[in-house]
Amino acid sequence: MFHVGVCDDEVGIRNELQRYFLQLSVTTNYSFDVHYFPSGEKLLQHYKAMQGEYTYHLLILDVEMNGISGLETARQIRSLPDRDVQIMFLTSYPEYMMESFDVQTFQYLLKPVTYELFKKKTLKLCSYIISSSNRFFTIKVEDGQIVLRKPEIIAIVKIKHSLAQNKLKVLTATQEYMINGTLQEYSDKLGSLFLMVHRSIIVNLEHVRRFTATTVVMSNEEEYPIGRSQSKAIKDIYAQYVLEELKGRG
């Protein structure tokens, strides 16, 4: 599932894009969770309310709106910073294309937007997101695929139940997803920011808040056990991660 924000002050355009997303969901393997905003101000208020838990894969912004323009809205979103969200602009004026380079625009949709053009550009974007494995991670759930940003994932936990063989739970700040597979399989796919702290738990180092003698406490206040034989090595790896982060910030 792709999370999308549409921001346009024209009700007709919002309704049209709602129909387009519904049609695209029915005719492809992709699904979309779309939120609609009537102004840049409303979208920015929503971003501030998320308090850093940015979840959109795609924003579609009208360039010319009453109040804050789409370009200014995009600049403020990039400054939060939300570097991963992809931005498509809606406009009747192609001359705005040059101004959009500084907010890393993915695509333009020139009004009036036909369904075929919308479909072509949106599917291209979906393929790009899925292929960006360094930033995004796709999991298979019962009703399809979910595309998550890696920083969203807090932990992956093995479900301990005799009837739940090879069942895992993926935790984010707002959702839990049930998936099939082994922890080793997902540890190999996710990369160095994810650490197996116990034979039944992988944690995202970005979400570690503190350690006790025998546990690690995460950003959602969940507390997970640490393998006793690995305790020192795990804490050393986390200390190295913190040092690298501090160096990166100058």
The domain segmentation of the chain, as residue ranges, is 2-131, 136-248
* pTM (global) more than 0.85: no
Q: Are residues 50 and 43 in contact, defined by beta-carbon separation less than 8 angstroms?
A: no
Residue 22 pLDDT class (50, 70, 90 cuts): very high
β-pair type (155-158, 144-149): unpaired
Query: What is the per-residue pLDDT across 69-90, written as a single tens digit (0 to 9) for each?
Result: 998 998 888 887 666 788 898 8
- CATH no. of 2-131: 3.40.50.2300
Residue 187 pLDDT class (50, 70, 90 cuts): confident
Torsion angle of C-alpha atoms 128, 134, 139, 144, degrees rounded to 10: -10
Question: What confidence score (pLDDT) does residue 226 get?
Answer: 92
- Per 3-state DSSP, what percentage of the chain is helix, strand, and coil (rounded to 5)? 40, 30, 30
Structure tokens at 52: 């850093």
Indicate the fold that domain 136-248 takes in CATH. Answer: OB fold (Dihydrolipoamide Acetyltransferase, E2P) (2.40.50)
Structure tokens at 7: 């921001």
Examine the pLDDT at 250 and tell me if it is beyond 70: no
